[in-house]
Structure 1
């Protein structure tokens, strides 16, 4: 592999990206034209009605147009403060003021809306999303998860949705009570239930029964004062109110420390009786190294909102455009609903835990695709896991290799099973990992089980 290294999302990577973008931006005289050109290349966007509701909420609170220079300047300041806090060793967001909420709605909420809707669509396509959703969203903020669920339910056009939510910030709850009812208007069979001002970590929150979807998005990373065990105990309290057919969805940032903490929590919750539905799939019996498991989903860049473009209309405006959507997630059920592997499915495949015995050889393997392409201009790189190897394994595909079979690696979804034939086993000393290097004889297929 030489000097070509997989790309990873780290703080230094983020800073290098921002430095490069800043240099590029200084050469541009029309900031907005650059953003709009970028927008044309992507399709992901939040509904225009929801964009306008966010703008209307800012206008309702400030008594000024959302494009007001004073309003935009203050939102910029709060966005920068939130971004700085995120990279602290113990991140802890504060949402005590109106502009804290405006900054969140402007910069973070659009991507969070899209990623949760993506999860709902994934579950619906798998046939496991309940027809009638009774949602309890923990740490709901301004209602991002309920809004995303309403958005999907409008497109789904079947079943019903009842929304329960818990949030301790009064400012967030005010935004929730403005945005959610307005976004529901004009629909049928979508209702709001209990929306509580309560701290999810304490014992006095009212918990409804027969929950079919329990969600917790970008909340646990802010509870840095709790241990993994304490977080698991807290979550199991809420899980006891989930129906036997219900789903538990936990989403955290893709950044290294939060992603790994989520995998540790996943292991703890498994030990307490929950079953992992996605993205992990334990194809073989063995030991999975959760302590170093950095795995996340990545969606195409989203279109900037009108508000983002207004905020970016100044020097170094790139700092207020947030198009990247990367997140770690785990989905649990209270009973095992994963489909069993077909008989003999793994018979011809070498376990990833035995790759050490096949260095330099061509092998066949079967594993779950646990990353999008994290490679470089010369090589595509995908993390592969079968649930029973403590050593990382990467599928390496030279970009000059263009046979049809290899394209399955790109088309397959995150968490989908890949069957790979004729890849050569190499040891990546710098990464302490195995590389499975593809060649002209390599064949791939994706299995949606």
Structure 2
């Protein structure tokens, strides 16, 4: 009997009984298997099957999973969350412990001129490597001053952007009363530490955070930082990271049922692997995802990396995962992501003491990292989406794949706003997508044409679906793209 046949048998029995012993499956099998062999086959797929296993003597009691209820924010938590997101810097205890860790590792105070110069060299090397073509990058933040440079330059921004993503999940009702979180390729622990920090906004929710990391030096840094906040929030348990490569986990023990799985700034570093191989990695871990769980993939906003994320997301969609956000497939078609450069922004952070000290040199701009710009995709197995688009029956909307046939004409479209303002004070520019366009499409709004009837184009959040009536189609040969010119006679309305 193949593994697939065995799992089908378990699924059948689970559909007829709310609970049973694993040994009971034996009577259905063509070939004899021991309880241990059956559990080894079943264990990685428990979450996907919506089952839980509890060891009972030499056997396992199998039962249907009882999902944890969603965590709904109350009014006080909403107010607390607004104040939390307005904070422009990391917790002071975390900033201090990073300074102490660098001092401890180098044997000198972090502000020593020799240490600062070594940190500068590490940061410049990382940035130079980052801007190379994808197949030429090494992007190794795994040892020596590479780890220290990451803590000084990258960590604060990645930590702060995690706040915004977790807040969005909370407001979308995607957090649960009890959560198991798995961070794959955790580095020095950005996501676990951000979870610990964010959960202090919540009254009663609890979380256990597991992680995987291959670098011993990152694990050492993670441990130092985690110890500094270990007593800050009893609602969160941060487990020690498992030392392993996420591409070959081997016999690594991971939780059976994961409510939130995170790949933060890690899949793009596997540039030597084709998209299909990276999709294989995600799908292998997705077997452990709870039926109502989410996978969050975060990447930098750089064009090639951001576009690569959209290509990967579509590959995962074709393998059975659904895209919860930020994409909305208005017409139910798959998109053409090859030129889809889409990212979100958030208010800049305040530079840390280390950044300000590093910047006291001839080229200060090299060492201050405060802009929050990131690309992300949230995926699920249950088909749930953030925006469920209902196009009114009387709407004569044109698919964006047809705009090339309507150059010089005025049309109506229904599309998601997939960028913040890419223009300037005189001309506002927003990327649009409905899941059908083969070439980039932008809404162009001159400042002197802003009216109450079209103001929603600028104020709508990233990912919002809008009906845009009476726009003029123009082709932009310089960028091989199409512009939809918004005028005073254009009507912009959110689609709910």
Distance between the aligned counterparts of 2:357 and 2:263, measured in 1? 31
Aligned residue number for residue 445 of structure 2: 397
Query: Residue 50 of structure 1 corresponds to which residue in structure 2?
Result: 94
1:345 shift after superposition: 6.2
Q: Distance in 1 between matches of 2:319 and 2:485?
A: 38
SS in 2 for 1:406: coil
What residue in structure 2 maps to residue 333 of structure 1? 380
By how many angstroms is 1:96 displaced? 4.2
2 CA distance for matches of 1:88 and 1:359? 37
Q: Whose radius of gyration is greater, 1 or 2?
A: 2
| Contact 2:446 2:486 survives alignment (8 Å) | yes
**Does 2:275 align with 1:228?**
yes
Distance 1:68 1:125 in 2: 44
Query: Which one of 110, 118, 121 corresponds to residue 74 of structure 1?
Result: 118
1:284 aligns with 2:334: no
Q: Name the structure 2 match of 1:351.
A: 399
- Point out which structure has higher relative CO (alpha carbons under 8 A, 6+ apart): 1
CA shift digits 1:184-210 (9 cap, x unpaired): 323222112351111111141322111
List 4+ stretches of structure 1 deviating above 6 A: none
In the TM superposition, residue 402 of structure 1 has moved relative to its aligned partner by: 3.1
**Distance across 2 between alignment mates of 1:139 and 1:420:** 41
Cα distance between partner residues in 2 of 1:381 and 1:97: 42
SS in 1 for 2:314: helix
Does structure 1 residue 273 correspond to structure 2 residue 317?
A: no
Give deviations 1:26-51, integer Å, cap 9, x for gaps.
xxxxxxxxxxxxxxxx9632222221
Cα distance change on mapping 1:78 and 1:52 into 2, 3 Å: same
Distance in 1, matches of 2:326 and 2:192, equals 22
**Counterparts in 2 of 1:242 and 1:391: CA distance versus 1, 3 Å:** same
Give TM-score, length-normalised by structure 1: 0.86
Q: 1:150 to 1:229 in 2, by over 3 A?
A: same
Deviations 1:373-427 (A, max 9, x none): 1124431111101112212210001123332343322222111112222221112
Map of 2:362 onto structure 1: 315
Unpaired runs of 5+ residues, structure 1, are 1-41
Q: Which residue of 1 aligns with 2:489?
A: 441
Q: Which residue of 2 aligns with 1:378?
A: 426
In the alignment, the residues of structure 2 paired with residue 446 and residue 46 of structure 1 have an alpha-carbon distance, to the nearest angstrom, of 35
> Structure 2 unaligned runs (5+)?
1-85
Counterpart-to-counterpart distance in 1, 2:210 and 2:186: 9
Aligned counterparts of 1:287 and 1:346: Cα–Cα separation in 2: 24
Cα RMSD over matched residues?
Answer: 1.9
Partner residue of 2:225? Answer: 179
1:100–1:332: structure 2 CA closer, same or farther, 3 Å change rule? same
SS in 2 for 1:262: helix
